[in-house]
Chains A and B, each alone.
Chain A
Amino acid sequence: MPPLSQRWLLAALALAWVVSAFSGRMDAYFLDVAMGAGIAIVLASSLNLINGFTGQFSLGHAGFMAIGAYTSAMITTALGPKLGWSAPLQQWLLFPASLLAGGLLAAIAGFAIGAPSLRLKGDYLAIVTLGFGEIIKVLLQNMDSVGAARGLVGVPSYTNLFWTFGAAAVTVYAVWGLVNSTYGRGFLAVADDEIAAEAMGLNTTRYKITAFMVGSFFAGVAGGLYAHLKGYLNPSGFDFNKSIEIVVMVILGGMGKHVGVIVAAVLLTVVQEPLRQLGDFRMILYSLILIILMITRPQGLFTWKTRKKVEPA
């Protein structure tokens, strides 16, 4: 598949802008679900770069999301009022800057975690990222300056349709462009056969760390969007279950499939609303989906053709 052109990105951004301009006329409930779906696309596409295209298995995506969420929320709540900017200036300048800052900090965390642990394979990496995700949650629960376990309240609601779908478009464009570029073929090579990729002279560790950092960056941006959508943050919202939700989106859509993962992210967010009535049974259903999918359709729901892969003897 050719990389998406810049024209595609501009068109997507323009569309988000136009739709956002009419958002005043839309139902508030519908808007909330739509923005949730946009954030889910950012999360799932970025995790897809790590888990799908590069073939690593991260279970700590919610941790990076938490870093981004808290960073950008702290910038807009603590720094925002001191600047004395007008409201539109805050929403259109300070907010995107805070999203970038959140993403960058998440990427730095991704590097700090990835550099030592990406030398590990499959299941070890999964456990280490799980552990780090939990550690981030515990750290936030003990940090009084961000509200500790009580949570952070009063985050301004700057997130709108333009920002969520703009971020989703940029994420998809970046991931799509990255894996289809000459450089980005290396991600697929690492996923297909790490030893062969290394023998070809690719620096596999560097590819893995790059994927991890880019994925963490967008997870951080998604966290910032989430913070300014809900207006309230609690460390326990970024637990292992949240990571699993994102993993399920990637698996359902098919690991390493662009469109499938986007469809799955939207689908799971929309389906969640009626599923809320199920209460406790929701996570039971999720785990059953995970098991049954892995046994019957490990390539994902929306995938019919798979790349031919030779199993090593």
Chain B
Amino acid sequence: MTEFLQQIINGLSLGAIYALIALGYTMVYGVLRFINFAHSDVFMVGAFVGWAAVEKLHIPTGTIGGGLLVLVTAMAVCAALGMLIEKLAYKPLRGRSTLTVLITAIGVSLLIQNVAQNQRIGFGPNPKPFPEVFPVRQIHLGELTLSSNQLIVIAVAAILLGALYWIVHRTRIGTAMRALSFNSTAASLVGINNNAVISFTFALGSALAGAGGVLYAMNYPSIDPLMGTLPGLKAFVAAVLGGIGNLPGAALGGLLIGLIETFVSGTRFSTYRDAIAFAILILILMFRPAGLLGKLKAEKV
């Protein structure tokens, strides 16, 4: 029983990170109807900004305030990066076929990865140790052992999800986002500035990915330029599992994928943990293509 609870905590803290990334995929899909391949690399950049904030800008580590500052820096830089990507690469393609945008997104993803891997203009290909940005303690609850980092991940993710919910449902710009994803033509007819809303959506999604990057790096000892690929793919699966374009679905999907992966790691199938996400993806797409919370729309001809 203790082990079971322990695994639940581990799974939740991993799943919370997947949820943060998955939200970015699902929001962009909501407004633009395409999969932003470069999202997983924004996540990677988030981790590297966190690293640079400590190593180059000397933000104090080991304190709550310093840790939050690192987190906010990463979110701000990633938000700017997300808007930049959208402006330079995706905006010129408005209204073109999905395939065109998809190929561009793959190009952007490769570009970020290879620039980051480059020794001269990026971070270099070697893994770097990630500093302890938050104070690390082991907390004993009965027989359970929790690391403070896990609790911070869950708490930060919960706060960010709450903030996102508030932005999307209680603010003007959030309402505009929902209107746009419902019907973009009608949204622009009632005076919504589609370009501004899309830009904002990218900023929001990328900020969440940036926070996810720092939180992910905290629980893993080192970071490298290709670290985004696998969590990115799993988060994408999470978004599809919950129903792509559906915000609560993405959060739910992220938590589920995190839990399933943690439980599989605990069994003798642990070497297949990375293949699990793909198996899940194929199963959902075959049996419930709209995802757990999504609604299937009939295609109009």
Contact = CB atoms under 8 A, between A and B. Distances in A.
A244 B35 CA distance: 17
Contacts of B233: 127, 130-131
* Candidate in A116, A247, A284 with the most chain B CB atoms within 10 angstroms: A284
A122 interface: yes
B278 A135 contact: yes
Interface residues of A, number: 39
A196 B301 CA distance: 8
Interface string A112-131: 00001101101110111011
A291 B236 contact: no
Contact of B119 (A116, A127, A280): A280
Interface in B16-39: 34-35
A92 B115 CA distance: 46
A42 B109 CA distance: 27
Contact of A283 (B89, B103, B110): B110
A123 B285 CA distance: 12
Interface string A240-254: 010010010001000
A280 B89 contact: no
A288 interface: yes
B99 interface: yes
Which secondary structure characterizes the binding site on chain B?
A: helix
Interface in A205-249: 241, 244, 247
A178 B225 CA distance: 42
Nearest to B124: A280
Given A120-B285, A295-B104, A195 B301 contact: yes
Contact of A291 (B89, B95, B96, B117): B89
Given A116-B282, A127-B35, A284 B89 contact: no
A153 interface: no
A44 to B, nearest CB: 15
Contacts of A128: 278, 281-282, 285
Given A284-B111, A291-B111, A131 B301 contact: no
Interface in A123-143: 123-124, 126-128, 130-132, 135, 138, 142
A295 B118 contact: no
Nearest to A295: B92
A290 B110 contact: yes
B111 A123 contact: no
* Candidate in A117, A196, A280, A294 with the most chain B CB atoms within 10 angstroms: A294
Given A116-B286, A131-B278, A123 B34 contact: yes
Contact of A294 (B93, B115, B301): B93
A287 interface: yes
A126 B102 contact: yes
Nearest to B286: A116
B104 to A, nearest CB: 4
A280 B285 contact: no
15 contacts: A117-B282, A124-B285, A126-B35, A126-B102, A131-B281, A195-B299, A196-B301, A241-B110, A244-B106, A280-B118, A283-B114, A284-B114, A287-B109, A291-B107, A294-B93
Given A132-B278, A281-B118, A294-B107, 11 more contacts: A57-B99, A117-B282, A119-B285, A122-B98, A126-B35, A131-B233, A247-B106, A280-B117, A287-B111, A290-B104, A291-B108
The 6 lowest CB-CB distance pairs between A and B, nearest first, are A290-B107, A287-B110, A287-B111, A291-B107, A131-B278, A283-B114
